[in-house]
Amino acid sequence: MHPIFYRTVQIDGLSIFYREAGAANASVLLLLHGLPSSSRMFAPLFARLAGSYRLIAPDYPGFGHSSWPDPKKFAYTFDHIAEIMTRFTEALNLRRYTLYMQDYGGPVGFRVILEHPDRAEALIIQDAVAHNEGLGENWKTRRAFWADRGAYESALRTNLLSLATTRTRHAGNDPNQERYDPDLWTDEYNFLNQPGQADIQSDLFYDYRTNVEAYPRWQAWMRENHPRLLVIWGKYESSFDPGEPERYRKDVPTAEVQIVDGGHFALDTAADEIATLVQDFLRNSHRAAAGHNPLIRSDHRTQHHERPRAEEDRA
């Protein structure tokens, strides 16, 4: 059992908290979290993969145990967070890594990748969107907020930050609700109700519209470069459109797409299955990377693997 270390590093005057486990000389798996979570969401992978990889999971500014600067003095934008995450990797001297992106980790991670594509060995996308069509029905209020923030601020906060929405992000429409620990969403809801959090999350979500504007650039980059890509999707995902995984395959025909027995935060219930998928994918990616550009596949053959589902387990 490899111990988990809970550390901080100073970036631009901010204290950035991160979790780290695994051998210092092992291949790096950099994990970028979603909303309204933190690096804590990756605890199930730390428990299962630290014996094989060096896992590093930071909290963004305004999240978890990192600094929460006043939004009047700090720009909560995805560009800014991606810039800080890039500096975070440089502060830790992470020259090569596989990037695991969930939810908000997608727009943060794609910005990091396009800025420094030579640093990433492979990509793992779990329930994160890179196509406008991937935003589901519950985004109508959110799109209205982008068009007229003043008129829809209150509605957006209810739609995005309420206890009901926080619960649904985890359990979705899974018929077996007894699998989900209610601490998952009550802890996150408590976080969202800390002083200043509503303003922080509202500012950052207002900037989400810039992700939609950037989708065509991310898609073009994927189509041109054919990165080694694993897409993991919870079959009870309720935040995003269920057709989104196959849209990635249109951009990257060699992508491996796996639907697992979980929701938006699929690690809640499918940690064993996801850990096995990640291990198999990374093993194959490291073989393919020998002698080639670190992020570009050595062939363009379709590789879609079906596997029997492992017994799901929560960490």
Q: DSSP labels for 5-31?
A: EEEEEEETTEEEEEEEES-TTSPEEEE
The arrangement of strands across the sheet holding 28-32 comes to 4-11, 14-21, 54-58, 28-32, 97-102, 120-126, 229-234, 256-260
Under 8 Å between Cβ of 231 and 123:
no
The residue-averaged pLDDT of 229-238 equals: 96
Q: What is the pLDDT of residue 175?
A: 92
Q: What is the pLDDT of residue 306?
A: 39
Q: What is the pLDDT of residue 298?
A: 41
**Cα dihedral sign for 95, 101, 105, 106?**
positive
The tens digit of pLDDT for each residue in 22-46 reads: 999 999 999 999 999 999 999 999 9
Under 8 Å between Cβ of 115 and 221:
no
Q: What stretch of H or E contains 262?
A: none
- Structural domains of the chain in order of their starting residue, each with its CATH number: 4-136+213-289 (3.40.50.1820)
Q: What stretch of H or E contains 162?
A: none
* For residue 36, cis peptide bond before it (omega within 30 degrees of 0): yes
The tens digit of pLDDT for each residue in 246-272 reads: 999 999 999 999 999 999 999 999 999
Give CA–CA dist 277/233, Å, rounded: 12
Q: What is the pLDDT of residue 172?
A: 87
Ranges 2-6, 147-151, 158-162: which has the least confidence: 158-162
Task: Say which DSSP state 71 is in.
Answer: T
Radius of gyration of the chain (CA): 18
The tens digit of pLDDT for each residue in 273-300 reads: 999 999 999 998 877 766 555 565 544 4
Residues with active-site annotation: 264
The residue-averaged pLDDT of 200-217 equals: 98
Q: What is the pLDDT of residue 295?
A: 64
Q: What is the pLDDT of residue 294?
A: 57
The residue-averaged pLDDT of 104-115 equals: 98
Question: What percent of the chain stands above pLDDT 70?
Answer: 91
The tens digit of pLDDT for each residue in 156-175 reads: 998 889 999 999 999 988 99
Please check the confidence at residue 305 and state whether its pLDDT lies above 90: no
pLDDT-based confidence at 69, cuts 50/70/90? very high
Q: What is the pLDDT of residue 95?
A: 95
Q: What is the pLDDT of residue 315?
A: 37
Please check the confidence at residue 221 and state whether its pLDDT lies above 60: yes
pTM of the model as a whole: 0.91
The residue-averaged pLDDT of 98-123 equals: 97
Average pLDDT of every residue of the chain: 91
Token pair listed for 295: 């992020």
CA 214 vs. chain centroid, Å, equals 17
Contacts of 231 (CB under 8 A, 6+ apart): 124, 125, 126, 245, 248, 249, 255, 256, 257, 258
Give CA–CA dist 35/193, Å, rounded: 14
Under 8 Å between Cβ of 134 and 241:
yes
The tens digit of pLDDT for each residue in 9-23 reads: 999 999 999 999 999
Give CA–CA dist 311/315, Å, rounded: 13
**Cα dihedral sign for 48, 51, 53, 57?**
positive
Tell me the C-alpha to C-alpha distance, in Å, between residue 74 and each of 12, 236, 297.
Answer: 11, 35, 38
Please check the confidence at residue 223 and state whether its pLDDT lies above 60: yes
